[in-house]
Amino acid sequence: MPRERLSVVVTRRLPEVVETRLSELFDVRLREDDTPMTRDELIAATREADVLVPTLSDTLDASLLGQVGDRLKLIANYGAGVDHIDVATARQRGILVSNTPGVLTDDTADMTMALILAVTRRLPEGMAVMQRGEWAGWSPTAFLGGRLGGRRLGILGMGRIGQAVARRARAFGMQIHYHNRHRLRPEIEEELEATYWESLDQMVARMDVISVNCPSTPSTFHLMNARRLKLMKPTAVIVNTSRGEVIDENALTRMIRAGEIAGAGLDVYEHGTEVNPRLRQLPNVVLLPHMGSATVEGRIEMGEKVIINIKTFEDGHRPPDQVVPSML
Ligand code: DGY
């Protein structure tokens, strides 16, 4: 007798090929419009599903997880970051959590370089002049930015994405420095020609560019707080393609306005879509709407990872990308 198909609820619209494949394999309820589910809709979804496929726009905290039904057995997150999921509470309730690491590494690292270039070479200012039709022709002194080659890049968080940023930045002639919970193996340090700083303070004080690439966890909250931002050289810039909570956004805004930090490139914000309005007014700040991993290829590969995680779970094994609290 054929086995009953797993009931899977997907909280957001996904690329069509991913939705089609999910529908072929499982008993799927897809989202009709691309809006985040309300909290009540999420709770209802968790009660009818064996597997929930949420994204970073769904907050699955302890209080919500306290209301899920007995049926839910796997949260197969569509995305790498799991800071919106209380993984420890899920585990206590016997619910596995998986994510989609690896497939968005290169895209996010590309976007990190794009932001570094945009800020240091003043792309938004040039684009704005062109869009307003105000370009008066080439000038030896117009739009002068800084050369990336020779600048010191300090990477905060040297996991997959941090290392991918380092590889790219080296090709631009930057000098690679990093701070991480654990020092990299010597052969990786050698390959990346990367200098390890045990002291984040000391690294921050000496860099020309800081790139935030660590996940958001309780221990990385406001890692770049006002005190640490103050250590940055006034000529230095900071970019963040990870999570907004790692930087104290108000302190950063104040210091850029005061000329204490030369600029910023941000893809993520401390309060989600509530971006500090003052940040939007600064010419030396480049803001993007969390599009670091937004490539067609990446989104499809994220879907493939979700499917493999669910399928492996259905076959009675642990999902290959299972996240456990000790990893966070
Ligand atoms: C993730 O998967 O966590 C990314 O932030 C999405 O861009």
Q: What CATH number corresponds to the domain at position 59? A: 3.40.50.720
Residue nearest to atom 5 of ligand 1 (CA): 81
**In-domain check, residue 219:** yes
**In-domain check, residue 223:** yes
Choose among 129, 203, 222: nearest CA to 162: 203
Where do the H-state alpha helices sit in the chain? 16-25, 39-48, 62-65, 87-92, 105-120, 123-131, 160-171, 186-192, 200-206, 226-231, 249-257, 277-280, 296-314
pLDDT the model gives residue 2: 64
Residues 45/76, Cβ–Cβ less than 8 Å: no
Mutate to test the pocket of ligand 1, among 14, 108, 242 (most ligand atoms within 8 A of CB): 108
Q: Are residues 76 and 111 in the same domain?
A: no
Whole domain around residue 91: which residue ranges?
7-102+295-327
Length of the chain: 328
Q: Considering its fold, how many domains does the chain have in total?
A: 2
Q: What is the pLDDT along the chain (328 residues), one digit of tens a residue?
A: 567 899 999 999 999 999 999 999 999 999 999 999 999 999 999 999 999 999 999 999 999 999 998 999 999 999 999 999 999 999 999 999 999 999 999 999 999 999 999 999 999 999 999 999 999 999 999 999 999 999 999 999 999 999 999 999 999 999 999 999 999 999 999 999 999 999 999 999 999 999 999 999 999 999 999 999 999 999 999 999 999 999 999 999 999 999 999 999 999 999 999 999 999 999 999 999 999 999 999 999 999 999 999 999 999 999 999 999 887 7
Q: Which of 271, 287, 303 is the last residue of a domain?
A: 287
Question: How many CB atoms sit inside 10 A of residue 79's CB?
Answer: 21
CA of 302 to the centre of ligand 1 (A): 10
Q: Are residues 145 and 283 in the same domain?
A: yes
Q: Which atom of ligand 1 is nearest to the CA of 79?
A: 2
Q: Are residues 208 and 139 in the same domain?
A: yes
Beta carbon of 81 within 6 Å of any ligand 1 atom: yes
CA of 79 to the centre of ligand 1 (A): 5
Choose among 46, 25, 24: nearest CA to 311: 25
Q: Are residues 117 and 238 in the same domain?
A: yes
Contacts of 143 (CB under 8 A, 6+ apart): 122, 125, 126
CA 325 to centroid of chain Cα atoms:
19
pLDDT the model gives residue 4: 86
Q: Are residues 256 and 313 in the same domain?
A: no
Q: Are residues 86 and 123 in the same domain?
A: no
Q: Are residues 222 and 136 in the same domain?
A: yes
CA 1 to centroid of chain Cα atoms:
44
Contacts of 238 (CB under 8 A, 6+ apart): 209, 210, 211, 212, 224, 229, 232, 247, 252, 261, 263, 264, 265
**In-domain check, residue 229:** yes
Distances (CA, A) of 63 to 4, 81, 86, 249, 256: 30, 20, 9, 27, 38
Spatial separation of the C-alpha atoms in residues 210 and 177, rounded to whole Å: 9
**In-domain check, residue 130:** yes
CA of 293 to the centre of ligand 1 (A): 6
Q: Are residues 117 and 191 in the same domain?
A: yes
**In-domain check, residue 1:** no
**In-domain check, residue 235:** yes
Distances (CA, A) of 102 to 59, 99, 312: 23, 10, 18
Q: Are residues 14 and 81 in the same domain?
A: yes
Q: Are residues 88 and 109 in the same domain?
A: no
Query: Which helix (H) or strand (E) covers residue 240, if one does?
Result: strand 237-240
Beta carbon of 79 within 6 Å of any ligand 1 atom: yes
Q: Are residues 50 and 184 in the same domain?
A: no
Q: Which atom of ligand 1 is nearest to the CA of 242?
A: 5
Q: Are residues 110 and 25 in the same domain?
A: no
Spatial separation of the C-alpha atoms in residues 257 and 104, rounded to whole Å: 33
Spatial separation of the C-alpha atoms in residues 241 and 243, rounded to whole Å: 7
Spatial separation of the C-alpha atoms in residues 220 and 138, rounded to whole Å: 44
- 319 token code pair: 């999902």
**In-domain check, residue 163:** yes
| Biggest alpha carbon–alpha carbon distance for the chain | 78
Residues 145/120, Cβ–Cβ less than 8 Å: yes
Residue nearest to atom 3 of ligand 1 (CA): 81
